[in-house]
Structure 1
Amino acid sequence: MAKIQNISEIHPTLGFTEFDILEKYRKSFNESELGKLHSVFPFECMAKAAGLSDRRLDRRNIFSPSAKIALVVLKAYTGFSDRKLVEHLNGNIHYQIFCGIMIPPSLPITNFKIVSAIHNEIASRLDIDSFQEILASHRKPYLDNLHVCMTDATCYESHIRFPTDMKLLWESLEWLYRHICRHCRELGIRRPRNKYRNVAESYLSYCKKRKRRASRTRMLKRRMIKLLEKLLSQRDGIHSEYGALLRYTQDYHKRLSIIRKVLVQEKEMFEGRKVSDRIVSIDRHYVRPIVRGKETKSVEFGAKVNNIQINGISFIERLSFKAFNEGIRLKDCIRMQQKLMNVRVRCVAADSIYANNANRKFCTKYGISTSFVRKGRAAKDEPLRKVFRSELSKERATRLEGSFGTQKQHYSLSRIKARNRKTEILWIFFGIHTANAILMIEKIRNKTAKAA
């Protein structure tokens, strides 16, 4: 008998008493917020769109395809770490019903890494457009004001330390020196001579300084760049002579190529030249600095996302780890909403960055009212238009910008702790749509009450 079974498979084998207890748990689950959250997600359709299978290497998985999607939603909803989520899943019958599995108390799940394995599997198959079309079609009957489009951009920051040139160079030196020592130890050869320990002592002394003079910073940076060049040449020398005896992983080659790029960029910046596409982290080489111009945080490091909102429900229009101008994407936002809802957009609420001449002409051409500040002479009904613009702007500022704060504070999107690009995108996607699902519970209840 399998350790963990789907609930649907074990119903016929349960005695009457056990079956009654399970039905009571199911009833209490359906009445809870977790049960209502489960009802607003089309798990089967999403699993089918992702192409998930319940078998891997001819072995049956513990989680069915829809249970895998449910587990990712559960992680976004609870905000637990992988280890803590597995502990709660073992002991909480509602969590098990949410995922559609039954875990015997005597045979709990012990491998918490199964959560990250499922994350990686879904992340590699995630198609944001197809998933959002499924969710939009499932939620459309409960939404109002489908002709109103609200749009704005925000940055979901990655969980990385604030990058500086010195930190980046030191991380590169530390990683490279550690692997050179490992290669020499495996090959049984003498470690090549370099100034790593001297630079390490100087860097530690530099870090302890409260005030760091520019001359000292420049001097230490020059030493670190020269040492990084030497370490790379020493590593290449070892590889050319003993490369056939060493085994390299794919991550090793990727990290080495990133360090080479860091060296090129740091040398150019040291010489006073500007660098485009700048690397700010060795671990997350895909992250780029995004200048937002905020008073408290001028630069952010993470994914920039342009969202549209329909009756309080957010959808991702564009997600990129490189900076982009959201002001030129208003036409795409309008087209996306019309595609998802199959309703013509009549009103647009957006920030002042979207109020360029091209967007104004587009909206005027198709008869779309906007929240933009008027240009030119006032019309006869200007007082009414002013009130309308004010209401649109107020609604956008409270709903759309408020949703950003809700997602970041309550759905683990303030500092995303994913380890690679694909899982970070997955984390953002399910964080946004889990927040949407909580809003949908109230909308479905109100719609059902009105219909009754």
Structure 2
Amino acid sequence: MYQPKFQQLTFENFHLPFGGKLDPENRWVKLADVIPWHVAETKYAKNFMSKRGAPALTVRMALGSLIIKEKLGLSDIETVEQIKENPYLQFFIGLETYQHAAPFDASMLTHFRKRLKHTDLAALQEELLQRHLAEERRKAEERNQNDDGDGGSGNKGKLIVDATCAPADIAYPTDIGLLNDAREKTERIIDDLCAMHPEGVAKPRMSRRTARKDFLAVGMKKSLSRKALRKGLRKQLSYLRRNLQYIGGLSASVPLTVLSTARYRDLLVIDELYRQQQEMYKSDRKSISDRIVSISQPHVRPIVRGKAAARTEFGMKLSISVVDGISLPERMSWNAYNEGCDLVRDIERYRERYGHYPESVHADKIYRTLANRMWCKARGIRLSGVPLGRPPKDVEKNRARRRQIREDEGVRNAVEGMFGKAKRRYGLGRVMARLAESSLSVVSITFLVMNLDRLLAAPFLRLFEWLLLELDVIRNLFAWSPPRAAIECRGAMA
């Protein structure tokens, strides 16, 4: 049961038992005013359709704790400890007074990630963006510089798009390692079925020690020949096939429903894993569609990126768009895809958000297909990169062309910086969530926290931009006026 309790708390009413008041300039107090809690509550309340049961924790407590976890880079247990010790964090999650006890158990963060789906967080991101745009328009009108009165007829702004991989928290997968892990799990399943057999069947002879030695003889070698590897795979496949046959025979007397949910799920995954590995062994191939690389996380897929550090990454592939420092996830998928096919959709979403097409789109080579170039040209959008055709023979035009290409690459570096910040500063470099839906929510929360930090830093960034403009004016004044004055003075003296 969920009872709507949304009310905008004020830091003046937050009671501190040791006296004093909260600092209005604290970052958590400011951040609480930026987040549209009512939008999140509308989505969150849909998880509780029943009118019975104990009241659920508020959305501010659920979303606020997840934001704290990602912003500070903490574990679930450490997040609860920090909230218990910090009055500003307690105000941020919606408590009305400071309390020494933890507001909830650390295990509740797992339920929060399940309830706050990535689609709900995407709606929250859109609301934040629209608020930001409305504030920018209001300030532009106050400065009499609002040029949006033409109804969005002209192209304005710069759109940056790119894709990356968010690696999952799994061990580096090898065929021999996956088969050995599957063999050990099936042995434990056989033990459980034998223990629950009504006639007390003894455990079958499975040569566990021999199978373990065969795995170590292959898996622990630094250099291994192709013939030795195939021999090791053949042995592990035979061990796993025999275990699955044992389980099939025992299931005639003991239903598989007696297994725990985790064991039964592992059995289904292992059955598909055996089929894939057997097919790859027979055809002598290294790839197969929907390849399983982790028994505990069967949704994870290999993503070939061709990077210098790792040619293949294992996790989720996602595409984002960056406009004025605001980064929004456009697509998240566990299967590999060609991000160049999403360019038109990303540009149309830009038009829905801002009311007009962008003036230029900055993307890497995979986006610059002929179809995308023609589509952008028909709408007056300049696509970054080297244009088609031969370079112009005119020296000045060729120099201007190369200068434009360098400037476009400099603009595109912003999205690489976003990826680096998300992976080094936040948790995108290794997604620790184990469920598929929870992983999507973690990635969405990461970009939500990055955008909140960007919105809080917006006044400082505007001041910095104003200082840069003033410095440019001063530089131009002193760079050109004194030489011209000196030349005139020298001519008068002559």
Q: Structure 1-normalised TM-score?
A: 0.87
Among residues 332, 339, 352, which one is paired with 1:339 in the alignment?
352
| In the alignment, structure 1 residue 189 sits paired with structure 2 residue 201 | yes
Q: Give the whole-Å Cα distance in 2 for the aligned partners of 1:119 and 1:175.
A: 28
Query: What's the counterpart of residue 454 of structure 2?
Result: 439
| In the alignment, structure 1 residue 362 sits paired with structure 2 residue 375 | yes
| In the alignment, structure 1 residue 58 sits paired with structure 2 residue 71 | no
Equivalent residues in 2 for 1:2-81, closer than 5 Å = 18=17, 21=20, 24-25=21-22, 28=23, 30-51=24-45, 57-61=52-56, 63-81=57-75
Query: What's the counterpart of residue 112 of structure 1?
Result: 106
Among residues 322, 329, 338, which one is paired with 2:335 in the alignment?
322
The one-letter amino acid of 2:419's match is F
Query: What's the counterpart of residue 237 of structure 1?
Result: 249
Query: Is 68-77 or 417-426 further displaced after alignment?
Result: 68-77
Q: Give the whole-Å Cα distance in 2 for the aligned partners of 1:106 and 1:305.
A: 41
Q: Deviations along 1:375-396, whole A, 9 cap, x unmatched?
A: 1255786654543343222111
Q: Give the whole-Å Cα distance in 1 for the aligned partners of 2:457 and 2:463.
A: 10
Equivalent residues in 2 for 1:85-96, closer than 5 Å = 85-96=79-90
Task: Give the deviation of 1:310 after TM superposition.
Answer: 0.7
Among residues 281, 285, 310, which one is paired with 2:298 in the alignment?
285
Percent identical among aligned pairs is 26
CA, structure 1 residues 259+14, in 2 after alignment: closer, same or farther (shift >3 Å)?
closer
Query: What's the counterpart of residue 116 of structure 2?
Result: 122
Q: Give the whole-Å Cα distance in 2 for the aligned partners of 1:108 and 1:418.
A: 23
**Contact 2:156–2:359 (CA under 8 A) maintained in structure 1:** no
Query: What's the counterpart of residue 418 of structure 1?
Result: 433
Query: What's the counterpart of residue 158 of structure 1?
Result: 168
| In the alignment, structure 1 residue 198 sits paired with structure 2 residue 210 | yes
Q: Deviations along 1:365-422, whole A, 9 cap, x unmatched?
A: 001112120212557866545433432221111x110110001111111111101100
Q: Secondary structure at the match of 1:100?
A: coil
Q: Give the whole-Å Cα distance in 2 for the aligned partners of 1:9 and 1:447.
A: 28
| In the alignment, structure 1 residue 135 sits paired with structure 2 residue 128 | yes
**Contact 1:289–1:299 (CA under 8 A) maintained in structure 2:** yes
CA, structure 1 residues 390+228, in 2 after alignment: closer, same or farther (shift >3 Å)?
same
* C-alpha RMSD over aligned residues: 3.1
Q: Deviations along 1:211-248, whole A, 9 cap, x unmatched?
A: 3333332222111101111111111111111218x523
The one-letter amino acid of 1:132's match is Q
CA, structure 1 residues 103+416, in 2 after alignment: closer, same or farther (shift >3 Å)?
farther
Q: Deviations along 1:41-62, whole A, 9 cap, x unmatched?
A: 212212213435789842123x
Query: What's the counterpart of residue 477 of structure 2?
Result: none
- Find the structure with the greater CA-based Rg: 2
Query: What's the counterpart of residue 259 of structure 2?
Result: 248
Q: Give the whole-Å Cα distance in 2 for the aligned partners of 1:114 and 1:294.
A: 37
Query: Is 250-259 or 299-308 further displaced after alignment?
Result: 250-259
How many pairs were matched up? 437
Q: Give the whole-Å Cα distance in 2 for the aligned partners of 1:342 and 1:422.
A: 32
Q: Secondary structure at the match of 1:101?
A: coil
**Contact 1:47–1:69 (CA under 8 A) maintained in structure 2:** no
**Contact 1:154–1:304 (CA under 8 A) maintained in structure 2:** yes
Higher RCO (Cα < 8 Å, 6 or more apart):
1
Query: What's the counterpart of residue 262 of structure 1?
Result: 273
**Contact 2:192–2:259 (CA under 8 A) maintained in structure 1:** no
**Contact 2:368–2:383 (CA under 8 A) maintained in structure 1:** no
| In the alignment, structure 1 residue 84 sits paired with structure 2 residue 58 | no
Q: Secondary structure at the match of 2:438?
A: helix
| Unaligned 5+ runs, structure 1 | none
CA, structure 1 residues 360+413, in 2 after alignment: closer, same or farther (shift >3 Å)?
same
CA, structure 1 residues 140+448, in 2 after alignment: closer, same or farther (shift >3 Å)?
farther
Q: Give the whole-Å Cα distance in 1 for the aligned partners of 2:26 and 2:10.
A: 23
Query: Is 438-447 or 264-273 further displaced after alignment?
Result: 438-447
CA, structure 1 residues 111+127, in 2 after alignment: closer, same or farther (shift >3 Å)?
closer
Query: What's the counterpart of residue 148 of structure 1?
Result: 158
Query: Is 321-330 or 51-60 further displaced after alignment?
Result: 51-60
CA, structure 1 residues 56+290, in 2 after alignment: closer, same or farther (shift >3 Å)?
farther
| Unaligned 5+ runs, structure 2 | 138-154, 467-494
Q: Give the whole-Å Cα distance in 2 for the aligned partners of 1:143 and 1:167.
A: 55
Q: Give the whole-Å Cα distance in 2 for the aligned partners of 1:350 and 1:436.
A: 21
Task: Give the deviation of 1:439 after TM superposition.
Answer: 1.4
| In the alignment, structure 1 residue 403 sits paired with structure 2 residue 418 | yes
**Contact 1:228–1:263 (CA under 8 A) maintained in structure 2:** yes
Q: Give the whole-Å Cα distance in 2 for the aligned partners of 1:167 and 1:14.
A: 55
Query: Is 127-136 or 64-73 further displaced after alignment?
Result: 127-136
Among residues 91, 94, 109, which one is paired with 1:97 in the alignment?
91
Q: Structure 2-normalised TM-score?
A: 0.80
Task: Give the deviation of 1:132 after TM superposition.
Answer: 3.2
Task: Give the deviation of 1:148 after TM superposition.
Answer: 1.2
**Contact 1:46–1:134 (CA under 8 A) maintained in structure 2:** no
**Contact 1:143–1:311 (CA under 8 A) maintained in structure 2:** no
Q: Give the whole-Å Cα distance in 1 for the aligned partners of 2:233 and 2:36.
A: 54
